Structure 1
C-alpha cells in the first residue's frame, strides 16, 4: 500500500502564517555568531594614564616579571601545564606582538570624581591619545572607554564624557574599527534603551551610519538577574538593544557587594557569581552577543611566594571560565598577563589534538568511535578557531592535523544551527 500525504496547501499556508512571528523573532533576535573576533581579555586603566606606548610597556613588564622565556616555561611547569617550553615561546611572542587584546580607558571606578573641568579635559585628551595610537599602529585590536553609569548622580557626567570622546575622535577622522563603549552598573532595561537613544542621537549628529555605535553592558547589579517583577532583565535587555549590544561583562566585586557577600569571599568562583553568569550565558545563547567573566583583585605583587600564589590563582580562574564556555575575562595588572596567556594557550593546545581528530573525521566522514552531529562539529570548529585567533594555535598545525583548510574551518564554525549534516564542506 502506497502512503499518501494528506496535508493540503491551505494547511501548509496556515502553518506558515502561524510561525511567521517565530521566524521573525529567530532571524532578528537569535542570528547566531557573526564571526566577529572576541578578545580573550579586557584590561582597564585610568583614562588619564593611557598613552599609545602603554600596551607595549605592559608586555615588556609582564615578560620581565615572569623572567623571560625561561621564566615562562618554569611558571608553566609549576602550574602543571603541558608543553611548558612550547607554551613559553608562544606566550613570549604574544607579549611582544599583541600584549593587550582589548583596552578600556576608564572614567568610572578607575578615574573617580575629579570635577567637570578635569574630566572634560581628560575625555578630549583620551580621544587624542587613542587617535594617535591607532594612527601609529600601537593600539590594541579593541579600544574604548568606560564612562560613568546612568544612575541619577553620574548620568549627565557620563554622557558628557561620552559625547566629548566621540566628537574628538571624529574631529580627527573616522572612528577606530575596534571602538568599544562600556555602559557600567546597569540596573534596568530602561537604561539600555536610553543608551540606544544616545547612540542614535550621536550617529545623527555626526552623520554616522545607523548602528555604527555599539556598546557592552556591565552586569554588576542583582536587578539584571532578577527584577522586582520576577523576570530576567539580562535576557530582555539584549532584545531591546536594537543589535547594538556587543557583550555582557560580569562585574565581580560590585555584584558580590550588592548581595552582601563579605569582602574576603568575593570571587569569580563564588556560587552567587556562578548563578549570575549561568543566567547571562543562557541569555546570550544564539544572540551573537559575547559574554565575559570578571576579574580577580589578588595581584601577582610582593614577595616571591605571594606572586606565585597569585599567578596560580589567576591561572586557575582563567582555566575555570574557559572550561565553562566563557572565553573572556578582565585583567587589572600587567603581571596578570603571563598567566592569562599561559592558561588560555594551554586550554586550546591541550584540547587541540582531540578536537582536530574529531573534526577531521566529521568532515571526511571517517568512521570513528564518536559520531558527531553538526552542532558538535560547529563547537569543535569554534574551539579551534578561537585558538587560532588568539595565537595559541598556528594555521599550519590546524591544516595538517585536522586535514582541512582554514576556509572549511571558518565555514563550519560560523554555520547556522539549521544547516544540515550534508552542508559541511
Structure 2
C-alpha cells in the first residue's frame, strides 16, 4: 500500500513552476568547479624577453639553483623542514618536474613588465610573441597554459591594449587554430563595465574570425581596491564575474598594486598581509561554485646571492605557498626561476603529506564504512576527492596511489 501524503500533487507542481527561474539562475551562475587541470603557478615574462628558449631557460636556471644550494634530498629537506621519505619523494619529483615541465602557465606580459613602447615596437612584439608561441605549441615545447597580459581598459592605454590583443590573436590564427591552453589576462580592473567591455571585445573577435561563441575567456586581475569594494560599499567581485558573461576563467590577486592602493608601505607589502587576506577572502566567496578559479600573488624576495640568502628566500616562499594552499588558493605567481624549486616542493609536500589520510577517508566514504573517529559527509567527500584530483593533476601523486579511478574521482569532486 503506497504511503499517504497530505499535500496535493498540484502544490508540488506549483512550487516547482514558481522556482523554475531560480533553478535556471542557480545553474547559470553556479555551475560548479571545472574538471580541467589548474596550473599551480603563473610565470610572467616581459614580451620583449620572451623567445623560443624561455621555458627551458627557466627550468635550467631552477635546476642550477638546486644544484648550487640544495643538491640532494637531505639538503633540500634541511632547508624546508622535510624529513625521511617525504624529503626524498619531494626532491625527486621536483627535479623531474624541472626537467620535464618547468613552467605550467606562462604569461607574455605587455603590461607592467613591458611598459610603454613606441606603437611599432609593441606591434612587432605582439606578432613575434604569437609566432613564437605557435611554434612552441607545434613542436611540443609550450607549457600547458600560455597567453598574454594586455594593457588594461583605462582610457590612457585602452586602444593600445586592444590592438595588441588583436594582433596576437590574429597572428595565432594565421598559423592555425588557437592553442587549447590559451589564456588572456585583463589587469587593473576597477569597474564591472571594463570587464563587460573585454567580454564584448572577445565576442566581436570571435564573430569576425569565425570562432565558436564563447571560445575566448579571460582572467581578471584583482589589484585595485575598487575591484573588491565598490563606491556604494558593496562587494564588486561578484559584479565583475557577472559582467564577464561566462567568460571569466580566473581571479588573480595582485600583491603589490593592491597593497600599494591600500597604503601599505613597501616593506610590508606581502601575500600574508591582513589587507591581502581580506581581498582574497572576498574573491574566494565571490568565486565559490562559479567555476572561476583563484590565484594568489607573488613574493618579490628573490632566491639569489649567497647560499644563506637563497635558503632564507626559499623558506619564505615555501611557507607562503603552503599558506596559500591551506587557504584553498591552489595557484600563485612566480617571479624568478629560483622560485620554481620551492613552488613545486611546497605543492608536492602539501599533497603527499595528506595522501594517506585522504585516501583512507575517501575509501571509507565510498565503501560506506567507518574510518576511525571521522565520519565524512558528501561535502567533505567532495573536498577529499578534489584534493586528490589536484594532486594527480600537478604530478604530486601517481594514479596508482589514489584508491578511486580518475572518472569516479572527478565525479566525486563534483567537477564538470
TM superposition score category, shorter chain reference: over 0.9
Would you say 1:181 and 2:184 are equivalent positions?
Answer: yes
Q: Whole-Å Cα distance in 2 between the matches of residues 105 and 386 of structure 1?
A: 25
Secondary structure at 1:70 match in 2: coil
Secondary structure at 2:333 match in 1: strand
Match of 1:42 in 2: 42
For 1:99-178, list aligned pairs within 5 A.
Answer: 99-178=102-181
1:405 CA displacement: 2.3
Question: CA deviation digits over 1:375-409, x for unaligned, max 9?
Answer: 111110110110111011111212xxx3x323322
Farther-moved stretch of structure 1 (54-63 vs 284-293): 54-63
Would you say 1:7 and 2:7 are equivalent positions?
Answer: yes
Would you say 1:340 and 2:353 are equivalent positions?
Answer: no
1:76 CA displacement: 2.6
Would you say 1:249 and 2:258 are equivalent positions?
Answer: no
Match of 1:89 in 2: 92
Farther-moved stretch of structure 1 (278-287 vs 389-398): 389-398
Considering Cα pairs closer than 8 Å and 6+ residues apart, tell me whether 1 or 2 has the greater RCO.
2
Contact 1:72 1:338 in 2 (8 A): no
The change in CA–CA distance for 1:415 and 1:338 in structure 2 (over 3 A counts) is closer
Would you say 1:193 and 2:196 are equivalent positions?
Answer: yes
Contact 2:216 2:247 in 1 (8 A): yes
Match of 1:422 in 2: none
Q: Whole-Å Cα distance in 1 between the matches of residues 151 and 21 of structure 2?
A: 38
* RMSD of equivalent CA atoms: 1.4
TM-score, L = length of structure 2 = 0.96
Q: Whole-Å Cα distance in 2 between the matches of residues 392 and 373 of structure 1?
A: 26
The structure 2 residue matched to 1:397, chosen from 384, 396, 401, is 401
Question: CA deviation digits over 1:78-134, x for unaligned, max 9?
Answer: 211242112111111100111000000000000001111100110011101011110
Match of 1:78 in 2: 79
Farther-moved stretch of structure 1 (300-309 vs 273-282): 300-309
1:290 CA displacement: 0.3
Structure 1 stretches of at least 4 aligned residues deviating more than 4 Å after TM superposition? none
1:72 CA displacement: 5.2
Match of 2:391 in 1: 387
Would you say 1:56 and 2:56 are equivalent positions?
Answer: yes
1:364 CA displacement: 1.3
1:306 CA displacement: 1.3
TM-score, L = length of structure 1 = 0.94
Question: CA deviation digits over 1:15-66, x for unaligned, max 9?
Answer: 1122122101111010001202110000000012112221122111101111
Contact 2:193 2:243 in 1 (8 A): no
